[in-house]
Amino acid sequence: MLLAGDVELHLLYKASIHGYTASAFHQRCDHQGPTLIVAYSDTGDIFGGYTSKDYTQTRQYINDEKAFLFRLQGTTPVQFKVTTPNGNKARYDDYNGGPCFGQEVYFLYSNSAQVYCNLSNIYRFNENNHSVNNSGPRPRTLRTNYHQLNRHLSDVNGMNYSLSECEVFKVTDAPKIAPQASVQKPWRNVLWTAERRAELMESIKTYKPLISTVNRIRVLLIGPIGAGKSSFFNSINSVFRGHVTSQAMSGSSGTSITTQFRTYTVKAGREGNALPLIFCDTMGLEESSGAGLDIDDISSIIKGYIPDWYKFNPAAAFQPDDRVGLKPVTLQDKVHCVAYVLDAGKVSLLPSKVEEKLAAIRQRVNSLGIPQIVLLTKVDEVCPDVGKDLQNIYFSAYIKTKFQETSNRVGLPMSNIMPVKNYSHELDLELNCDILLLTAVQQMLRFADNYFDDINPV
């Protein structure tokens, strides 16, 4: 292991997606605390560096006794602490460049897919340099190590390494599952039985909106890229189809997989009737202005202005005049519940710009009187006990802290937060997973009833 103790790595930056530029790196990696860089050369070498200090663009040397460079020697990681003859100036915090160790090793050199090693003015490693398993020679200088790193090195005055990829990860302590991490009494009561699953499915199938002019409630799914919006619909669809399906496009990407406004209905079986429920899928929220879902588009979606298959334009919001030729909007076309979809493992790492967008969206949704809930996805990945058995979810004190943190960040009470595990790699359905998914849908229907009560009081 390169890092001591149990840690988690959270991807902040991927050069092939976000760009091989200093600005792209700093936008995603500044003020993130400890980070690990992993670079992949065109020749197949893997190397990088670690710093425990923030990137802040101060254009000053940063003292960091924990900083190191590393490379893989076969499958064995070899690391070297970085020091200078006059002190531990491990990093140079350059706002015009990417990560820089000393002022000698530049990642993303000249805003390109390059690592530059300045071998004419080299820093020495201290006596603690060693391979992780304490075997093999002890490298003494950066020049020596980078000769080892790339056997094709021939220019002693400097060398550029072409990169096929460069990634930066935020390093955090892994959750500690201590005796206090579980509670004797669950903080929510759930029946994990096949009978309960059947009961939930039947109640959803037979649900009828409180207003006769509305046949199906509409739920708008909003969340950052990769949180699991499309996967949530696919998972609900899977439950009612009786096998895992993938109708809505989903996957992993640095930008939103969904580029169009889509409305999805769920059928009770392959040839069954459509459920009284429509999921509205949108582009993911992104940090950059002019990228991802536009906040003004959300108001148009909620008001029922935007038609199915509309292709989003991040640079320009939908305009009511674009509805020329379309049928008038009715209550059936409007959104009756908003669900924020958040990755449980990334709640702590929500970029400030995304948090600002969520706050602005919440303000818009509040002004329109629409009920809101949070779908907290990937709960099995943040707590080992829950990963082993989903029935442990409401015994987990750590999951409860995630609920509290989500409540504070999003501004909704914990009672409005529903944990789910979407189907991603599974081929068969699983009872506990189904119950969490169906319980979340049940809450959506209940919240829609609250909305109808408000607009049509008795």
Cα–Cα distance between 93 and 108 in angstroms, integer?
A: 14
pLDDT for position 415 = 94
Cα–Cα distance between 437 and 434 in angstroms, integer?
A: 5
Which phi and psi (to 5°) does residue 131 adopt? -70, 155
DSSP state of 287: S
Burial 302-315 (b: 16+ CB within 10 A, else e): bebbbeeebebebe
Cα–Cα distance between 430 and 404 in angstroms, integer?
A: 27
Burial 377-411 (b: 16+ CB within 10 A, else e): bbbbebbebbeeebbbbbbbbbbbebbeebbebbe
Cβ–Cβ under 8 Å, residues 240 and 268: yes
Per-residue pLDDT of the chain (458 residues; tens, 9 = 90+): 566 567 788 888 888 888 899 888 998 898 899 999 998 888 878 888 899 989 988 878 888 888 888 887 776 778 777 765 555 566 777 667 788 887 678 888 888 988 887 654 444 333 344 443 333 333 333 443 444 433 333 333 346 778 888 999 999 887 655 444 566 789 999 999 999 999 999 999 999 998 989 999 999 999 888 888 889 999 999 999 999 987 655 544 444 455 678 889 988 887 788 899 999 988 777 766 655 567 778 888 898 888 888 887 766 777 766 666 677 888 999 999 999 999 998 888 787 778 888 898 999 999 989 999 999 999 998 888 999 999 999 999 999 999 999 999 899 999 999 999 999 888 899 999 999 999 999 999 999 999 998 887 55
- pTM of the prediction? 0.68
Q: Which amino acid appears at position 19 of this protein? A: G
Sort residue 84 into left (φ over 0), alpha (ψ -120 to 50) or beta: beta
| Residue 130 Cα to chain centre, angstroms | 35
- In this structure, what token pair is assigned to residue 365? 């949704």
Q: What share of the chain is helix, strand, coil (3-state, %, to 5)?
A: 30, 25, 45
Instruction: Name the residue among 54, 83, 81 with its Cα closest to residue 70.
Output: 81
Q: Which amino acid appears at position 372 of this protein? A: Q
Burial 128-167 (b: 16+ CB within 10 A, else e): ebbbeeeeeeebeebbebbbebbeeeeeeeebebebebbb
User: 179-455: what fold?
Assistant: Rossmann fold (3.40.50)
- In this structure, what token pair is assigned to residue 444? 């959506």
Cα–Cα distance between 118 and 452 in angstroms, integer?
A: 67
CATH 3.40.50.300 segments of the chain = 179-455
Using CA of residue 267, residue 272, residue 275, residue 278, what is the dihedral sign?
positive
Cβ–Cβ under 8 Å, residues 79 and 70: yes
pLDDT for position 123 = 40
- In this structure, what token pair is assigned to residue 234? 């696919």
